[in-house]
Amino acid sequence: MALAEEIYRHVSEATSSGGPYAAIFDLSATKETTIPTNTVRSLAHRPPSVPMGRKQVVVGEEPVIFGLGRLFQMCRESIGSEFQIVHTLEEAYNILGVRPEDFTECLVNLRGDNGHCASVRFTFYATEGDHHIAC
């Protein structure tokens, strides 16, 4: 949970100025998770890390990741968030109308409460008036 909190904090900080932002959260490399469904529900009811009114797309290829993303999406619908879960990064790019070569990267190293480190890639894309962030 600590790692999720760190990611939430970093994305919130990154999108708090210079926007508006949309986001792609690329979890396609994630094969499994131990995050409980109650935690997913709890996270979904928090204020979005990307300001309301902007699209957020999660990529989850594995059935368990896609399913948890879908649960998050259903919980998020109650607050009117523009949140989608897709199976491929290509689908995410199409939803936002961007291409991979449009992004620049910033790598952030985070440490979870179990002591494991994770590198989270924050990838920024900007056009006139629009900014996109991918994690």
As a whole number, the mean pLDDT across the chain is: 75
H or E element at residue 10 = helix 2-15
> For 19-72, what is each residue's pLDDT tens digit?
667 778 888 888 888 888 998 898 888 887 777 677 888 899 999 999 999 999
Instruction: Say whether pLDDT at 88 is over 70.
Output: yes
CA distance 57 to 114: 27
Residue 79 structure tokens: 């607050």
Instruction: Say whether pLDDT at 77 is over 70.
Output: yes
DSSP string, 86-125: ES-HHHHHHHHT--GGG-EEEEEEEE-TTS-EEEEEEEEE
Longest CA pairwise span in the chain (Å): 41
Instruction: Say whether pLDDT at 127 is over 50.
Output: no
